[in-house]
Amino acid sequence: MRITVLNDEKPGKCAAEHGLSFLVECKSKILFDVGPSDIFLKNAKKLKVSLDDVDVIVLSHGHWDHTNGLKFISGKELVCHPDCFVKRFRKNDNEYNGPPISLEEAKKKFRLVLSEKPHEIGGNAIFLGEIPRLNDFEAKETEFYLEGGKDDFIMGDSALAVKTEKGLVVIAGCSHAGICNIVEYAKKVSGVERVYAVIGGFHLSEMNDAGRKTIEYFKKEKIVRVYPSHCVSDAVIEKMSESFPVFPVRSGDVIEI
């Protein structure tokens, strides 16, 4: 399989903006998140990658930096959790932090598949749906709130699991559900115990208890390759690299599995 990084906040071969967008090519062609703008389209053009034959768009969750690109694409199948299109805000500045379109608009622009349950895509990829939050160190606090003032723990945060000959590849957008919770659920849903690679945003902005326990979990699982992307701090990446192979992701990278 191949993953092309159409946007990450660290520049590489291509321009970068805060947010994430991956093109995942396995048995199907999946656009995983669409970033904060039309930068995913501009970078695809620069990389000479066609998005015309994308089979499905998958959204990891409903934050603007993963969904704003929906304004610039239409007509595809779109798979996401039902709460992706709710109105949400940041606590620190009360800024709107949700998607650029409503649920009604999404239904008009796309062939919409809303699923809290795992949803198979193309034979070897699974949209995980809602992630059970089972451990004691992830997803315990939130920086966001919903319209009306209720805390927003982004219960619709999801991920993609791809079954390969080398093992399971887990692709996360921001891991608000917790990257360890996500990997555990990916193993359960796929029936694959061996995790070869974990790629994407891990929601680890500092080297704290959650960071240390995540490193311990990755070591225990003997994950062969770790590709930290959006929302993983340099301090966490440096500490991870002391324990296992780490390959920080940059805009324009191509990952071959």
Torsion of CA 197, 128, 58, 196, to 10 degrees: 10
The pLDDT assigned to 73 comes to 97
| Tokens read off for 237 | 């990446």
Q: What is the domain extent for residue 228? A: 2-256
For the domain that residue 184 is a member of, what is the CATH number? 3.60.15.10
Mean pLDDT over 105-126 rounds to 97
Mean pLDDT value of segment 105-128: 97
- pLDDT higher than 90, residue 123: no
Q: How many domains does the chain have?
A: 1
Q: What is the pLDDT of residues 67-88, one digit of tens each?
A: 999 999 999 999 999 999 999 9
How many CB atoms within 10 Å of residue 134? 12
To the question of pTM greater than 0.75 for the whole model, the response is yes
CB 186 within 8 A of CB 167: no
- Residues 156 and 207: their CA atoms lie apart, in Å, by 25
| Rounded Cα–Cα distance for residues 156 and 103 (Å) | 14
The single residue listed with the structure tokens 């709130």 is 145
**pLDDT tens for residues 201-236?**
999 988 999 999 999 999 999 999 999 999 899 999
pLDDT at residue 15, as a whole number: 97
